[in-house]
Amino acid sequence: MTMIQACQVLGIDLGTTNTVMASLDDTGKPQVLPNAEGDFKTPSVVHVGSGAREILVGEPARNMQVIDPARTFQEFKRDAGTPTTYATEGGIPITPEWLQAQVLAKQRKDAIAHYGDPEAGRWAVVTVPAYFRQNERQSVENSAKIGSIELLGLINEPTAAGLAFGVLGNKGDKTSMILDWGGGTFDVSITRFEGAEANVLGSHGDKHLGGKDVDALLMNLVVEAFQRDQGLKFAPESHPAEWFVCRDDIIRQKHLLAARTEVKFCARCEGRQVVVQVSRDQLEQLLAPLLKRTDDVITLALQGAKVAPEDIQHVLFIGGSTRLTAFADRVKRRFGAQKVLGGSVSPDSAVAQGAAIYAAKLIADSGKTMRGKNTRCIPPPKIKHTDVMPHSLGVAVFDESHDDVRCSVILERNQSLPSEATKTYASMSDDQTHFHIQVLQGEEDEPLSKCLVVGERELQLTARPKTSHSIEVTMRYNTSGLAQVIVRDLVSKRTEDITVKFNGK
């Protein structure tokens, strides 16, 4: 039996604001690891020096926001899977994928320093928002490779938190709702715990709804105050250092509203000062549109899981934004304060801890055994789980009734992973030999404009009758939520599988 050191396997919560890593201790419990700076959270911030001769990650990079804001990058997780290029340094395109890789590489480097083992962090499970699409998941997978990490798999963030809850805090059979509201995204998963099994029944999310959006609303109050009281246009482009200091203060004060009824934001720029006073009630009114969006996501998650609100027995908060009193009170009013759990798992570390549990599970499933510092074998996690993919996957077809191109779903959302399905399609004319296959993430009968094209392929095939369903498309989702698409021509005598490659990959 192959044995590997536990320190070689990490669970990494790659966050918009902060990144956290964890591994199993000698007893099989997940522990959060400190970084080189001695902190348990690494800011997801990267500073790229001139010519890329120096790259800083975490708190050292965050400190450069005042000195060199043009070369300091943050919140790039929100652009994952897009062709965005922020800058070029030393011939290196600074993309979201490359920046994520720098953050992941630091996790491994810090694990090596913590354990004194050059193999530490060699393998890892990395978490992604449940509502990440194919291109975004592929981006994280590519980032792990660039960061010299062998990716064991991806796991949805609320699912990882659910695993941590199942191992560390859950007692008995329960249907739980996991609310994961971090710096950049809001995800909801409905999970059924039965003994040592955790089965995700359904999930939904908003990948552009997070603490950063709350910060932006509060920053706008400061901008308005400078304009109204001082006649000064306050903006990150014109006053980057002052903007950074002000936003830092706003983040600190925002968190204080959980314990206070009122806070004050004091900002200085060009020798002038404004003071903005915000009460807890005012903040709730300000946040009303964002909180309405969280309500909508929760409702859609419940509908997708086919679970009624009264059937939810536990509500678990994950992510720093769930500390907002306005959000917590809203959830308690809807589901009952007695259902909201606290204490068993930390909102800041549960995702990384769950990822470490899943990593150990994958190691055990592969026939390997993990061992601790004293060479004793670490017991594999006593939990099983299934996850779902929140996006449907299909192909573009011409719909004669609408006279346009629509999505034909093959794999429906909220099916358990891994999953597979097949459909056959006909050509548009008897003499057609050219076929353009487009793979879509979207819902049944949605127009092409509302779907995401995640892959496409041009095919030259023999002509066939229009009425013949002779193009067979098989789609598979693996346990990481990554898809494979195979197209077969049922007319040709050749047996050729054509795997559709995802755009840009």
Q: What is the pLDDT of residues 15-30, one digit of tens each?
A: 999 999 999 998 889 9
* Residue type (1 letter), 26: D
φ, ψ of residue 378 to 5 degrees: the values are -90, 130
Angle at which helix 325-335 crosses helix 288-305, to 10 degrees, equals 40
DSSP single-letter state for residue 415: P
Per-residue pLDDT reduced to its tens digit, 253-267: 887 877 788 888 889
d(CA 379, CA 370): 8
pLDDT at 479: 86
Per-residue pLDDT reduced to its tens digit, 205-228: 998 999 999 999 999 999 999 999
Question: What CATH number does the domain located at 171-342 have?
Answer: 3.30.420.40
Burial of 174-200, coded b for 16+ CB within 10 Å and e otherwise, reads bbbbbbbbbbbbbbbbbbbbeeeebbb
Contact 24, 31 (CB under 8 A): yes
Q: What is the mean pLDDT of residues 177-196?
A: 91
Contact 297, 255 (CB under 8 A): no
Which strand (E) or helix (H) includes residue 64? helix 59-67
DSSP single-letter state for residue 28: S
Contact 233, 226 (CB under 8 A): yes
pLDDT at 505: 41
What is the pTM (predicted TM-score) of this model?
A: 0.89
Percent of the chain beyond pLDDT 70?
96
Q: Which of 87-91, 426-430, 454-458 has the highest mean pLDDT?
A: 87-91
Domain 393-499: CATH superfamily, name plus number: Substrate Binding Domain Of DNAk; Chain A, domain 1 (2.60.34.10)
Per-residue pLDDT reduced to its tens digit, 365-416: 888 888 887 767 888 888 888 999 888 999 999 988 888 999 999 999 988 9
Q: Higher pLDDT residue, 195 or 434?
A: 434
| Strand pairing class (9-14; 123-128) | parallel
| CA angle in degrees (0–180, nearest 5) for 244-246-251 | 95
pLDDT at 93: 97
What confidence category does residue 501 fall into, taking pLDDT thresholds of 50, 70 and 90? Answer: low
Per-residue pLDDT reduced to its tens digit, 2-12: 789 999 999 99
pLDDT at 150 over 70: yes
pLDDT at 504: 42
Mean pLDDT of the chain: 90
| Strand pairing class (186-194; 197-206) | antiparallel
Per-residue pLDDT reduced to its tens digit, 103-148: 999 999 999 999 999 999 999 999 999 889 888 999 999 999 999 9
φ, ψ of residue 191 to 5 degrees: the values are -125, 135
pLDDT at 166 over 90: no
- CA 472 to each of CA 90, 428, 454, 469: distance values in angstroms, whole numbers, following the listed order: 47, 15, 18, 8
- Determine whether 69 is exposed, middle or buried from the number of CB atoms within 10 Å of its CB (0-12, 13-18, 19+): middle
Per-residue pLDDT reduced to its tens digit, 270-300: 999 999 999 988 989 999 999 999 999 999 9
pLDDT at 400: 86
Contact 314, 176 (CB under 8 A): yes
pLDDT at 503: 47
The CATH architecture of the domain made up of 3-169+344-386 is 2-Layer Sandwich (3.30)
The reply to whether 3-169+344-386 and 171-342 are identical in fold is: yes
pLDDT at 468: 82
* Residue type (1 letter), 59: E
What confidence category does residue 461 fall into, taking pLDDT thresholds of 50, 70 and 90? Answer: confident
Domain ranges of the chain: 3-169+344-386, 171-342, 393-499
